[in-house]
């Protein structure tokens, strides 16, 4: 590799075995970072990411972010396997297909959602990032440098009919992003939200989705360029923001990307 700008960084990517998580794991490893990639249910999800790096840069870990003890173990793995931790990407999530496989065409009204499914999605998407951040912060605060990146989604989807509890869970995650950024002001640890900018070709899209839907899906790799910037020293002064990967232009100057792809996190005002 000719350039490895993150070769001194260690990252944790939850849900790092497939979809957006796999794309981010491979991008970080390709930029020189060491990565602990978690999967909740199957080893082969995260092992697939490790197998494609071509180097010993990715450590797959089976862990459930809804379990605080698992989150502590993930952080310990990063410290013992790679000697540090600098970046936490809260990507693990549960989507609308757990409510209904036909959610794209036949919205499920909130009172029709099974309470156990509601609880599972909220527990993963809202509580999971809290448990992971809480486990990572002692290390990040001690070294006075760190990054927490919460994977979000379009604000219009947060208010979309039939998108409970996925929409509310991501709105809560953006609120966490803003509050955590303020709580951590002056510590050297930043907290930002990152979203692909539209429906993406991941496991959250049902196999039976129409061709019309599938033809409009974004590639998971779209999220890599802004993530690599957020993981670098260049983003030191940015916290409490949200960055839309679909608006990021890799060849543009950083100031252009920040102005056109960034906005304050947490404002559910119906704009993008």
CATH number at residue 153: 3.40.50.720
Please give the mean pLDDT across all residues of the chain: 87
Checking if the pLDDT of 215 tops 90, the result is: no
Say how far apart CA 194 and CA 128 lie, in whole Å. Answer: 17
Q: Each residue of 22-55: pLDDT tens digit?
A: 999 999 999 999 999 999 876 555 555 555 555 6
Checking if the pLDDT of 208 tops 60, the result is: no
For residue 219, is it within any domain? yes
If one compares 239 and 49, the residue with the highest pLDDT of the two is: 239
* Cβ neighbours of residue 130 closer than 8 Å, sequence gap 6 or more: 176
Query: What are the backbone dihedrals phi and psi of residue 193, each rounded to the nearest 5 degrees, phi first?
Result: -105, 145
Say how far apart CA 82 and CA 11 lie, in whole Å. Answer: 9
pLDDT at 1: 40
The closest alpha carbon to 211, from 96, 73, 87, 104, belongs to 104
For residue 3, is it within any domain? no
Is residue 166 among the annotated active site residues?
Answer: yes
CB contact at 8 A, 192 and 176: no
Per-residue buried b or exposed e for 22-50, using 16+ beta carbons within 10 Å of the residue's own CB? bbbbbbbbbbbbbbbbbbbeeeebbbbbb
Confidence of residue 256 (pLDDT cuts 50, 70, 90): confident
For residue 4, is it within any domain? no
Can you tell me which residue has the tokens 């970046």? 87
Element (H, E) at 171: helix 166-183
User: Out of 166, 180, 229, 243, which one is annotated catalytic?
Assistant: 166
Three-class secondary structure of residue 39 per DSSP: strand
Say how far apart CA 229 and CA 245 lie, in whole Å. Answer: 11
Say how far apart CA 68 and CA 130 lie, in whole Å. Answer: 9
For residue 271, is it within any domain? no
CB contact at 8 A, 147 and 231: yes
Domain, as residue range, for 67: 10-264
Can you tell me which residue has the tokens 């497939």? 18
For residue 153, is it within any domain? yes
Say how far apart CA 156 and CA 137 lie, in whole Å. Answer: 31
For residue 124, is it within any domain? yes
Confidence of residue 136 (pLDDT cuts 50, 70, 90): very high
Q: Which of 6-10, 135-139, 211-215 has the lowest average pLDDT?
A: 211-215
**Mean pLDDT for the stretch of residues 3-24:** 92
For residue 168, is it within any domain? yes
Checking if the pLDDT of 156 tops 90, the result is: no
Can you name the residues that pair with 38 across neighbouring β-strands? 61
Strands 241-244 and 146-151: unpaired
Strands (E), 66-128: 87-90
Rounded to two decimals, what is the model's pTM?
0.89
Give the side-chain half-sphere CA count within 13 A for 208: 8
Q: What is the percent of the chain with per-residue pLDDT over 90, rounded to a whole number?
A: 64
CB contact at 8 A, 163 and 188: no
For residue 2, is it within any domain? no
Say how far apart CA 127 and CA 133 lie, in whole Å. Answer: 10
Number of structural domains (the chain) is: 1
Say how far apart CA 224 and CA 178 lie, in whole Å. Answer: 22
Highest mean pLDDT among 30-44, 194-208, 226-240: 226-240
pLDDT at 49: 56
Checking if the pLDDT of 272 tops 50, the result is: no
């Amino acid at each position: 590799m000719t350039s490895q700008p993150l070769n001194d960084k260690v990252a944790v990517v939850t849900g790092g075995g497939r979809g957006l998580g796999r794309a981010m794991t491979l991008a970080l490893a390709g930029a020189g970072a060491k990565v602990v990639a978690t999967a909740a249910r199957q080893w082969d999800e995260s092992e697939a990411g490790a197998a494609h790096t071509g180097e010993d840069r990715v450590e797959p870990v089976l862990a459930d972010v809804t379990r605080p003890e698992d989150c502590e173990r993930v952080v310990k793995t990063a410290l013992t396997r790679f000697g540090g931790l600098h970046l936490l990407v809260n990507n693990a999530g549960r989507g609308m297909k757990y409510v209904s496989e036909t959610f794209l065409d036949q919205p499920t009204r909130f009172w029709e959602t099974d309470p156990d499914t509601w609880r599972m999605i909220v527990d993963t998407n809202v509580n999971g990032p809290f448990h992971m951040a809480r486990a990572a912060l002692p290390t990040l605060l001690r070294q006075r440098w760190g990054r927490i990146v919460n994977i979000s989604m379009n604000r219009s989807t947060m208010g979309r009919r039939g998108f409970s509890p996925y929409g509310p869970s991501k709105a809560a995650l953006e609120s966490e992003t803003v509050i955590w950024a303020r709580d951590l002001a002056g510590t050297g640890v930043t907290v930002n939200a990152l979203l692909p900018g539209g429906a993406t070709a991941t496991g959250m899209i049902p196999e039976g989705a129409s061709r019309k839907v599938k033809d409009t899906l974004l590639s998971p790799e779209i999220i890599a360029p802004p993530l690599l910037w957020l993981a670098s020293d260049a983003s030191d002064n940015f916290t409490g923001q949200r960055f839309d990967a679909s608006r990021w232009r890799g060849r543009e100057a950083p100031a252009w990307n920040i102005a056109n792809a960034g906005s304050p996190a947490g404002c559910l005002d119906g704009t993008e």
